[in-house]
């Protein structure tokens, strides 16, 4: 705790020592500074990827091609996905893990601080490499632009790209290395650095979800690296892994890719489950319902995520037995996911709620993520998926789970912990504006896409029949509204983090916070817990730890 | 959008909600999948509606409970939080009930899937090959085969800066130069492949899409019940003109189809007579 830290002369020295800007931000080994870097990087990528989304929605505003060529449109859909997944969502969760895990388990820092620095600083270089072919084309008219074969990089199409294939693949390798190092750090920290008395089954749910996510990352990022390496050698070194004419198998790529890709989906949602499980009990003033069930449900989802990959491939022509297996396994995921949703709803039942911005985003998450989950259940029904697959119905589905799921959880986490990080309260009125505008516009944006898909509009097309015009226009209006609303978010963060504007935040920040991170000062000291805190089970976020 | 367009749109929307009639092709303000033109597509539509209603009911219960909580258990209304954090009975119920619902869904889904996988007993075969960015159709057992690509009017209108008002183009992006002609009431097997990259052949009214993959031959089947024109599109990203390789199926009564096929073969014979190649074999029906 903060008081304890002052008794430790060695660490006082560290707290006091003056670092230059370069030392602090470029050579940092401090979990909070690296967490901040991750979060700011993620925010930047969120706007870069969001801008690409707006190019897409602008082109789709009315039928006919008005703004961009089809090839450029395909580059936008491809890069939007890569930037949002690897640049916005994943680094945001790693940033939150960096900031919060040591503070939540009573540790002074992450277990491997130098590797921590490295895993962040790979990212700016990786994304420079990823964006370079596109930026060259857009700003200097050099080359043919970025990859245009979709973020899944399916061969043979992805191999029709030029040298940008090499840029994309090396960027993905670097992102993978960064993610694996981040994951190793999270595992090492959680398994080795918990304060005495912080048993695994007393840890905050956020730490649990991240521990499981970290294992998923270590398991699947090398698989992606393998898949894209084979693409690389197929493209530049005359191998024929995926080239049918040379005896290769283009469908094998899809199997390998989705063996990565499906756990990846849970990598992007499990930490979000953890965040929401921290926030709802705080503002409901009631312990989390079914703590252990939440942990087991998370572990079950993680296990199932490895045996459902081919549900992305129901139309590739698998044997009947394969289709049936992947249908049943996919349907099964609804059970642990349902347990989680019911547990959140039960936490709210007979509670005493207030609706500050983090709580609004958390409730928005539960409702809208569940809509995405339910459309996911629909997609698991193979015969129906023969209709839904590769249409806007799927686009609506995964944006409900990723935007109103992962992104809403990241926003909820930001509002929840921003006063802890910066020491000042954010502007609550602006926060509420941000929530309501985002929620209204995100539904205007994505809900009509369900209709478009059911009516027969394929995804990834730059132009469409007039029958699809009305809902596309509505969707685009939603997109611009949602995009502009995020400027409020950026302004709120700038006010707190860079201008220090706002009321002084107390240690506990919110009325009913529980957990070790709230025993530290706001902002917390340089080294979070220099002496292990004394753990009282009553102070833990989830109350009764026996259930 | 003008008020008139909006109100006419709403009119269509209400009509769409009220009507259960099948559309062959997408309609403005269309909200739902269509039952399609085959027995299988009807089954798929029914599966879709059942799972949709199940999802709506689950959603209503969960969201209902949440909204009730938000209205009732507010601190500003003096609500005092309970301290319990588990309830074994409830937890067993909400684990077991979803499993039962899923089993209930899996049974009809499995039955439909088994039917769809059975391409046996087909009366004719059409080979479909995807190319960037057109389709080739071959009537297996005859020499009739042709390329089908986006029709000229759409192709002109879809260019960037074409100056054409695409709302005035009939069946914009959903029309081809040479449609695939098929007979009704006939079990037709499709063998589907591609020559360059992966494509996916999708006509919503037939109820399925099937990827066309180089080096692979996938099969699927249909038996169309109603004569009509059914439109679809490529459903797998296949490069810059992915959005511009539509599919048009025209289903005709058997006699009309046979006449059409004979005429196509005769036309080929005329050509082949001049270049001295053997006459094509007549269509084989198993």
Lowest mean pLDDT among A161-165, A257-261, A369-373, A461-465: A161-165
Q: Identify the pLDDT of residue A77.
A: 97
Q: Identify the pLDDT of residue A5.
A: 41
Average pLDDT, chain B: 89
Contacts 24+ apart (CB under 8 A), A192-196: A192/A111, A193/A102, A193/A105, A193/A107, A193/A108, A193/A110, A193/A111, A194/A105, A194/A106, A194/A107, A195/A105, A195/A106, A195/A107, A195/A516, A195/A529, A195/A532, A195/A533, A195/A535, A196/A532, A196/A535
Catalytic option among A38, A99, A151, A518: A151
Element (H, E) at B201: strand B199-203
As annotated, the residues of chain B forming the CATH 2.60.40.420 domain(s) are 124-270
How far is residue A284's CA from residue B26's CA, in Å, rounded to a whole number? Answer: 46
Q: Identify the pLDDT of residue B20.
A: 39
- Residues on chain B touching A345 (C-beta within 8 angstroms): 62, 65-66, 69
Catalytic option among A11, A33, A109, A356: A109
Which residue from A114, A127, A85, A98 is spatially nearest to A38, judged by alpha carbons? A98
How far is residue B53's CA from residue B30's CA, in Å, rounded to a whole number? Answer: 18
Does residue B216 surpass a pLDDT of 50? Answer: yes
A57 flagged as catalytic: no
Which residue from B109, B135, B114 is spatially nearest to B234, judged by alpha carbons? B135
Q: Identify the pLDDT of residue B279.
A: 55
- End-to-end Cα distance, chain B: 55
Test A348 with B63 for CB contact under 8 angstroms.
no
As annotated, the residues of chain B forming the CATH 1.10.287.90 domain(s) are 2-117
- B84 confidence band (pLDDT: 50, 70, 90): confident
How far is residue A447's CA from residue B190's CA, in Å, rounded to a whole number? Answer: 35
How deeply is B276 buried, as exposed, middle or buried, from its count of CB atoms within 10 A (0-12, 13-18, 19+)?
exposed
Interface with chain A: mutation pick from B193, B235, B238, B246, highest number of A CBs within 10 Å = B235
Q: Identify the pLDDT of residue B19.
A: 42
Residues A4-27: pLDDT tens digits? 444 443 444 444 567 888 989 999
What are the counts of helices (DSSP H) followed by strands (DSSP E) for chain A?
A: 19, 0
> How does A299-309 read in b/e, with b if 16+ C-beta sit within 10 Å?
bbbbebbebbb
Q: Identify the pLDDT of residue B274.
A: 59
How far is residue B286's CA from residue A413's CA, in Å, rounded to a whole number? Answer: 65
**Omega prior to A514 cis, within 30 of 0:** no
**Count of alpha carbons within 13 Å of B72, Cβ hemisphere only?**
11
How deeply is A68 buried, as exposed, middle or buried, from its count of CB atoms within 10 A (0-12, 13-18, 19+)?
middle
Distance of CA A117 to the CA centre of its chain: 20
Q: Name the minimum distance, in Å, from the CA of A442 to any CA of chain B.
A: 18
Test A327 with B242 for CB contact under 8 angstroms.
no
Residues A86-102: pLDDT tens digits? 999 999 999 999 999 99
Catalytic option among A38, A99, A258, A266: A266
Does residue B13 surpass a pLDDT of 60? Answer: no
Contact by Cβ (8 Å): A205, A278? yes
Give the pLDDT mean for A66-95: 96
Instruction: List the 97-126 stretch of B: residues with Cβ below 8 A of A.
Output: 98-99, 102, 105-106, 109-110, 112-114, 116-117
How far is residue A516's CA from residue A505's CA, in Å, rounded to a whole number? Answer: 16
Tokens of A111: 């277990």
A351 flagged as catalytic: no
Query: Angle formed by the axes of helices A357-380 and A392-401, to 10°?
Result: 140
Catalytic option among A11, A33, A234, A264: A264
User: Which residues, at least 6 apart from B185, have a Cβ–Cβ distance to it below 8 Å?
Assistant: B223, B224, B225, B254
A508 flagged as catalytic: no
A312 flagged as catalytic: yes
Which residue from A295, A307, A309 is spatially nearest to A257, judged by alpha carbons? A309
Nearest-5° angle of CA A132, CA A172, CA A57?
A: 60
Residues A280-319: pLDDT tens digits? 999 999 999 999 999 999 999 999 999 999 999 999 999 9
Q: Identify the pLDDT of residue B18.
A: 42
Helix locations, A193-319, DSSP H: 205-236, 250-267, 270-284, 291-304
Instruction: List the 147-166 stretch of A: residues with Cβ below 8 A of B.
Output: 148-150, 154, 156-157, 160
- A349 confidence band (pLDDT: 50, 70, 90): very high
- Residues on chain B touching A459 (C-beta within 8 angstroms): 237
- A206 confidence band (pLDDT: 50, 70, 90): very high
Largest interatomic CA distance in chain B: 95
Q: Name the minimum distance, in Å, from the CA of A368 to any CA of chain B.
A: 10
Q: DSSP labels for A226-241?
A: HHHHHHHHHHHS---S
Does residue A448 surpass a pLDDT of 80? Answer: yes
Q: Identify the pLDDT of residue B280.
A: 57
Q: Name the minimum distance, in Å, from the CA of A27 to any CA of chain B.
A: 43
- B283 confidence band (pLDDT: 50, 70, 90): low
A277 flagged as catalytic: yes
- Residues on chain A touching B172 (C-beta within 8 angstroms): 63, 465-466
Q: The tokens 């956020």 sit on which residue?
A: A206
Selected residue with higher pLDDT from A538 and B91: B91
- ipTM associated with this complex: 0.91
A461 to chain B: closest CA residue: B243
DSSP designation for A143: S
Coil, strand or helix: which one is B21?
Answer: coil
Contact by Cβ (8 Å): A373, A404? no
Does residue B113 surpass a pLDDT of 70? Answer: yes
Nearest Cβ partner for A287 among B83, B196, B208: B83
Tokens of A32: 């909070």
Residues A140-156: pLDDT tens digits? 998 889 999 999 999 99
B66 to chain A: closest CA residue: A345
B191 to chain A: closest CA residue: A317
Does residue B8 surpass a pLDDT of 90? Answer: no
Nearest Cβ partner for A374 among B44, B55, B81: B55
> How does A187-196 read in b/e, with b if 16+ C-beta sit within 10 Å?
bebbeebbbe
Tokens of A237: 């070194």
CATH of domain B2-117: 1.10.287.90
Does residue B17 surpass a pLDDT of 60? Answer: no
Q: Identify the pLDDT of residue B282.
A: 57
B173 to chain A: closest CA residue: A465
Contact by Cβ (8 Å): A542, A205? yes
Q: How many residues does chain A have?
A: 547
Q: The tokens 């903060």 sit on which residue?
A: A2
Average pLDDT, chain A: 93
CB of B61 within 8 Å of a chain A CB? The answer is: no
Nearest-5° angle of CA A368, CA A403, CA B241?
A: 120
- B4 confidence band (pLDDT: 50, 70, 90): low
Nearest Cβ partner for A354 among B75, B83, B117: B75
B243 to chain A: closest CA residue: A461
How deeply is A221 buried, as exposed, middle or buried, from its count of CB atoms within 10 A (0-12, 13-18, 19+)?
buried
Which fold does the domain B124-270 belong to in CATH? Answer: Immunoglobulin-like (2.60.40)
Does residue B10 surpass a pLDDT of 90? Answer: no
Give the pLDDT mean for A502-522: 92
% of residues, chain B, pLDDT over 90: 79
SS3 of A327-345: HHHHHHHHHHHHHHHHHHH
Give chain B's radius of gyration (CA, Å): 25
User: Which residues, at least 6 apart from A504, have a Cβ–Cβ distance to it below 8 Å?
Assistant: A423, A424, A425
């Amino acid at each position: 705790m903060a008081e304890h830290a002052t008794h430790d002369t060695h660490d006082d020295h560290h707290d006091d020592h003056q670092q230059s800007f370069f030392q602090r931000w470029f050579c940092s080994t401090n979990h909070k500074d690296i967490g901040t870097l991750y979060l700011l990087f993620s925010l930047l990528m969120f706007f870069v990827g969001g801008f690409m989304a707006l190019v897409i929605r602008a082109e789709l505003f009315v039928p006919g091609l008005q703004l961009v060529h089809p090839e450029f449109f395909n580059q936008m859909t491809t890069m939007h996905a890569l930037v949002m997944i690897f640049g916005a969502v994943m680094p945001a969760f790693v940033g939150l893990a960096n900031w919060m895990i040591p503070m939540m388990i009573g540790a002074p820092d992450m277990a491997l601080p130098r590797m921590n620095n490295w895993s962040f600083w790979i990212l700016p270089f990786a994304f420079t490499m990823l964006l370079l072919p596109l930026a060259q084309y857009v700003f200097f008219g050099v080359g043919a632009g970025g990859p245009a074969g979709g973020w899944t990089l399916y061969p043979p199409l992805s191999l029709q790209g030029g040298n940008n294939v090499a840029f994309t693949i090396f960027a993905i390798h670097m992102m993978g290395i960064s993610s694996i190092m981040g994951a190793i750090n999270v595992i090492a920290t959680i398994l080795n650095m918990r304060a005495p008395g912080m048993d695994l089954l007393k840890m905050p749910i956020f730490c649990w979800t991240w521990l499981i996510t970290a294992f998923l990352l270590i398991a699947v990022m090398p698989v992606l690296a393998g898949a894209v390496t084979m693409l690389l050698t197929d493209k530049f070194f005359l191998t024929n892994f995926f080239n049918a004419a040379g005896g290769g198998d283009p469908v094998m790529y899809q199997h390998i890719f989705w063996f990565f890709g499906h756990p990846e989906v849970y990598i992007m949602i499990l930490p979000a489950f953890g965040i929401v499980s921290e926030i709802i009990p705080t503002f409901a003033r009631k312990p989390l319902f079914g703590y252990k069930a939440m942990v087991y449900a998370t572990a079950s989802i993680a296990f199932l995520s490895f045996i459902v990959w081919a549900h992305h491939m129901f139309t590739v022509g698998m044997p009947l037995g394969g289709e049936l297996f992947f249908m049943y396994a996919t349907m099964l995921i609804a059970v642990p996911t349902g347990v989680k949703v019911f547990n959140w709803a039960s936490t709210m039942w007979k509670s005493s709620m207030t609706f500050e911005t983090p709580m609004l985003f958390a409730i928005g998450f539960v409702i809208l993520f569940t809509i995405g989950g339910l459309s996911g259940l629909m997609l698991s029904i193979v015969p129906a998926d023969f209709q839904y697959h590769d249409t806007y119905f799927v686009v609506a589905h995964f944006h409900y789970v990723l935007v109103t799921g992962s992104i809403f959880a990241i926003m909820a986490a930001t509002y929840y912990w921003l006063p802890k990080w910066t020491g000042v309260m954010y502007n609550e009125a602006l926060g509420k504006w941000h929530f309501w505008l985002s929620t209204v516009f995100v539904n205007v944006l994505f809900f009509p896409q369900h209709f478009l898909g059911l009516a027969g509009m394929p995804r990834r097309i730059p132009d469409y029949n007039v029958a699809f015009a009305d809902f596309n226009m509505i969707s685009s209006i939603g997109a611009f509204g949602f995009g502009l609303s995020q400027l409020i978010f950026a302004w709120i963060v700038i006010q707190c983090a860079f201008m220090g504007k706002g009321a002084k935040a107390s240690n506990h920040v919110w009325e009913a916070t529980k957990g070790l991170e709230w025993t530290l000062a706001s902002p917390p000291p340089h080294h979070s817990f220099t002496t292990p805190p004394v753990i009282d089970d009553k102070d833990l976020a989830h109350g009764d730890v026996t259930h | 959008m003008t008020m008139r367009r909006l109100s006419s749109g709403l009119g269509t929307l209400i009509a769409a909600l009220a009507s259960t009639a099948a559309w062959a092709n997408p309609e403005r303000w269309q909200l739902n999948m269509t039952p399609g033109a085959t027995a299988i597509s009807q089954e798929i539509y029914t599966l879709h509606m059942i799972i949709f209603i199940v999802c709506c009911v689950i959603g209503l219960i969960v969201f209902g409970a949440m909204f009730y909580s938000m209205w009732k258990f507010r601190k500003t209304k003096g609500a005092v939080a309970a301290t319990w954090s588990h309830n074994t009975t409830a937890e067993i119920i909400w684990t077991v009930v979803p499993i039962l619902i899923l089993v209930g869904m899996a049974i009809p889904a499995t039955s439909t899937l088994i039917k769809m996988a059975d391409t046996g007993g087909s009366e004719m075969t059409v080979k479909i090959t995807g190319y960037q960015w057109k389709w080739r159709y071959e009537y297996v057992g005859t020499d009739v085969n042709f390329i089908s690509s986006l029709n000229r009017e759409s192709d002109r209108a879809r260019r960037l800066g074409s100056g054409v008002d695409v709302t005035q183009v009939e069946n914009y992006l959903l029309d081809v130069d040479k449609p695939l002609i098929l007979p009704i009431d006939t079990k037709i097997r499709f063998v589907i492949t591609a020559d360059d990259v992966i494509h996916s052949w999708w006509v919503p009214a037939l109820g399925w899409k099937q990827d066309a993959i180089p080096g692979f031959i996938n099969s699927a089947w249909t038996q169309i019940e109603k004569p009509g024109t059914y439109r679809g599109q490529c459903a797998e990203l296949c490069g810059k003109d992915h959005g511009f390789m539509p599919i048009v199926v025209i289903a005709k009564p058997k006699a009309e189809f046979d006449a059409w096929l004979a005429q196509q073969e005769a036309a080929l014979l005329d050509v082949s007579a001049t270049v001295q190649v053997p006459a094509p074999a007549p269509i084989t029906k198993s």
